[in-house]
Amino acid sequence: MGTLEPIVYWAFGLQIRSNCEFPGPQRIAGDSTADVCVVWGEQPPWLASETTALLEPYYTSPQCDERGAATLRVWGMRDGAYHRLLYADGTEFIVDRSGTEVWATWPPELTLEDTATYFLGPILGLVMRFRGTVCLHASAVTVEGKAVALLGSAGAGKSTTAAAFAQLGFPIFSDDVLPLFENCGEVFVRPAYPHLRLWPDSVNSLFGSAEALPRLTPTWDKRYYDLLKNGDRFQSEPRPLAAIYILGERLQEAAAPFVESISARDGLMTLVAETYVNYLLDKEMRAREFELLSRVVRRIPLRRVRPHSDPATINRLCGVILDDFRGLISAAAQHGKAG
């Protein structure tokens, strides 16, 4: 599999050189200085000789599929220089510890599109962690030139809320993986790629029919929302992070959706719990993550959001977040004048 000339994509602030086309990121005119090289449909030539080192995975996910198999197992290889990730469906990745090389293979019943969903999520998440970047399990939207993060675990409604903001005309950074970096004492976020991933019930709620958007892969019911094709704006440049909204439990009470304060301690614990690929961190990576997140909590307002259980209130949820954020900006401006 592959082409004569490598194809270069851009996502998460990385140039990704590929041996074939795959869906999701924006294609660019790259060069030989790509940050990450991915080889689809092939394994590294030395893998066959490493089988004896693969008897005991160093990580086995507590989650299992319908057959009782762990959804993910991970092995260290060549004294930790490489990592092998094997998913329950047979999809397999080899990732080097420097975060520069990835090999991807999959069983005959799956497709390149299926494998790309792993690559654009946990695999690139792991690549970024190896490269020293802390990533939140979050979406993000641009409001008044600043990044507003929507934090939450799987099923919290990050992607749905981001899609609602996109429909309202706000540029979107990401719907699941949000890389952080610091510059001149300020925390910034990097954009992912111009797609949002949505379950059919979210598509039905936002667009009136689950069939309004195409499937992400031929074998999966999840849909994708192309931010460029649909005329909505994709935030393609980094922006300073100005607030983090933690999506909490959905409520049926009339007061929802609403925003409430959260203590710095609880906020830090939530951020630590909702960093991306945190199940594969070593001590050095955890220490780096904790130091950065401690600074984030000191500098960035954290708020908890209580959405309503009725999906029809999604635009009201966006309005509540916008009003609260603009209140934070106004208060900060007044404080700056007073100072």
- DSSP at 313: G
Quick one: which of 195, 194, 236, 230 has its CA closest to 215? 195
Asked if residues 86 and 65 have their Cβ atoms less than 8 Å apart, the reply is no
Residues of the chain with pLDDT under 50: 2-3
- DSSP at 152: -
Specify the amino acid at residue 94: I
User: CA angle at residue 24 from 145 to 223, to 5 degrees?
Assistant: 95
Taking the C-alpha atoms of residue 233 and residue 225, their distance in angstroms, rounded to an integer, is 12
Asked if residues 315 and 168 have their Cβ atoms less than 8 Å apart, the reply is yes
Sign of CA dihedral 130, 154, 170, 205: positive
The CA radius of gyration of the chain, in Å to the nearest whole number, is 20
Sign of CA dihedral 89, 97, 294, 297: negative
Taking the C-alpha atoms of residue 153 and residue 136, their distance in angstroms, rounded to an integer, is 10
pLDDT attached to residue 303? 96
Q: What CATH number belongs to 134-338?
A: 3.40.50
Q: Which two tokens stand for residue 23?
A: 């869906």
Domain boundaries, the chain: 7-130, 134-338
Taking the C-alpha atoms of residue 250 and residue 235, their distance in angstroms, rounded to an integer, is 28
Quick one: which of 6, 29, 28 has its CA closest to 17? 6
Spatial neighbors of 261 by CB under 8 A, at least 6 apart, are 303, 304
Name the residue with tokens 């851009």.
10
pLDDT attached to residue 289? 95
User: How many angstroms from the chain centroid is the CA of residue 128?
Assistant: 11
H or E element in which residue 126 lies: helix 124-130
Specify the amino acid at residue 243: A
Taking the C-alpha atoms of residue 299 and residue 305, their distance in angstroms, rounded to an integer, is 19
Specify the amino acid at residue 300: I
pLDDT attached to residue 332? 75
pLDDT attached to residue 154? 81
Q: Which two tokens stand for residue 246?
A: 């933690």
pLDDT in tens, 172-192: 999 889 999 999 889 999 999
Specify the amino acid at residue 205: S
